């Protein structure tokens, strides 16, 4: 058999090792370096995403607490406005003789200002808005 001839077997082994050495160097230099870059980029993206998720999970309770505090402030402002308006209305009902006086006109202006303030607060913090006619509108 010519493949196992003692005269040419050493040259075949030499070329076999040389071919595999060149193939190994090309593979390790080009293919493995590109694979390493791909895995490194994927790892950095995953690390970035996990840190963003961790930050969001830490910030969510803080944002919820701040929203609750702002809603409580709005509630107390609206409550005080409503208490003031009801007390003024009750006092004005008790004083039937003061309907035509200047104080009554001033209290009506104050009442209008309080109602305007309450409607502004409502329109700022709700998904509905108040039109000029005084009705709630879903479209504006």
For 61-75, what is each residue's pLDDT tens digit? 888 888 888 888 888
Number of domains comprising the chain? 1
Of the listed ranges 26-30, 33-37, 116-120, 133-137, the least confidently predicted one is 133-137
Asked if the structure places residue 30 within a domain, the reply is yes
Asked if the structure places residue 55 within a domain, the reply is yes
Asked if the structure places residue 18 within a domain, the reply is yes
Asked if the structure places residue 134 within a domain, the reply is no
The average pLDDT across 31-56 equals 85
Asked if the structure places residue 4 within a domain, the reply is no
The average pLDDT across 5-12 equals 79
For 108-132, what is each residue's pLDDT tens digit? 677 777 777 777 666 666 555 555 5
The range of the structural domain enclosing residue 102 comes to 9-125
Question: How many Cβ atoms from other residues are within 10 Å of residue 87's Cβ?
Answer: 10
Asked if the structure places residue 74 within a domain, the reply is yes
Q: What CA–CA distance (Å, rounded) separates 72 from 64?
A: 12
């Amino acid at each position: 058999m010519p493949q196992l001839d003692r005269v040419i077997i050493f040259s075949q082994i030499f070329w076999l090792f040389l071919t595999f050495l060149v193939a190994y160097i090309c593979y390790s230099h080009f293919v493995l370096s590109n694979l390493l870059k791909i895995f490194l980029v994927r790892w950095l993206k995953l690390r970035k995403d996990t840190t963003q998720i961790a930050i969001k999970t830490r910030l969510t309770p803080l944002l919820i607490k701040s929203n609750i505090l702002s809603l409580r402030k709005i509630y107390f402002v609206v409550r005080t406005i409503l208490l003031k308006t009801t007390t003024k209305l009750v006092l004005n009902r008790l004083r039937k003789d003061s309907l035509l006086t200047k104080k009554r006109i001033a209290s009506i202006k104050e009442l209008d200002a309080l109602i305007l303030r309450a409607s502004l607060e409502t329109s700022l913090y709700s998904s509905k808005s108040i039109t000029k006619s005084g009705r709630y509108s879903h479209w504006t």
